[in-house]
Amino acid sequence: MRSLIFAILFVIGLGVYILFYVLPWLGEKAANLIPVEAEVMLADNISEAYNWQNNKNDSANYYMHQFVNQLDLNDTYKINVSVIESKEINAFALPGGKIFVYSGILDKMNSYEELVALLGHEVTHITNRHSLKSICRGATTSLVIAGLFGDVDGITAGILSKADEFKQLDYSRELETEADNNGLAIMLQNKVDPKGMLDLLNLLKEESVETPQFMKYLSTHPDTDSRISNVSSNTSVSTDFPENIKLKKLFEKLKHCI
């Protein structure tokens, strides 16, 4: 009897391990097989659902789009950035080119360089498929659970019904470092002072002490001190570029709309 109980517990433990570790890992690997067109379609559906749940700042969006159009961000995806009215200090990227920036984090920024740093970081999550992999990790487990209950067709609806949760996609320290480093490369590519990345990280660190209830961005982008140390050690941070007057003016107009 005891051996039977141990066998049952072993099977249950193995099942739990497969469900919560093996399947998410397989889901992440499967993300590489998804065509860009399907990824963009998924992003459009999630974005539409998210827009229904939140208020967009149309005036800020107008200047944000002009700001983004001045930057060379990516050739694979059409980057679309939307400003959401919220006190939350947050920003997140969906697969396929969609980025949402909250007015709360824009309100705290002091320079256009910080905004370029933020966009470069989030664009990397898109182009390197970090966002897609994170979604696939969660969706794989959900798919299996739904399959056990005969509700596989409800997976898409389930994903869209939880669109608000995508603002807290979870990334590993390795992926965050990759996003920061590539974000610096994007700043250099656009001849924007890379010290703006340090300013952004220091802003997040300061705000996490003063207003922790609004720090959703930090909750999904862990270990800010390590990120600051990593960026500080990057030799590119010492690169100087002349002020971009057009980006500066657009940033000031954007700030006036917040």
Residues of the chain with pLDDT under 70: 1-33, 136-170, 209-222
- Residue 171 sits at the vertex; the CA angle it makes with 167 and 174, to the nearest 5 degrees, is 155
pLDDT at 46: 79
Strand stretches in 45-174, DSSP E: 80-84, 91-93, 98-102
Which residues, at least 6 apart from 70, have a Cβ–Cβ distance to it below 8 Å? 244, 246, 247, 250
**In this structure, what DSSP letter does residue 213 have?**
G
Helices 173-189, 130-148: crossing angle, 10 deg rounding: 140
pLDDT at 181: 95
- pLDDT tens digit sequence for 191-244: 999 999 999 999 988 877 544 444 444 444 447 888 999 999 999 888 889 999
Beta bridge partners of 83: 101
The rounded distance, in Å, linking the Cα atoms of 226 and 205 is: 11
Q: Where are the domains of the chain?
A: 2-256
Helices 195-210, 224-232: crossing angle, 10 deg rounding: 160
Chain-centroid distance of CA 90 in Å reads 9
The rounded distance, in Å, linking the Cα atoms of 95 and 78 is: 11
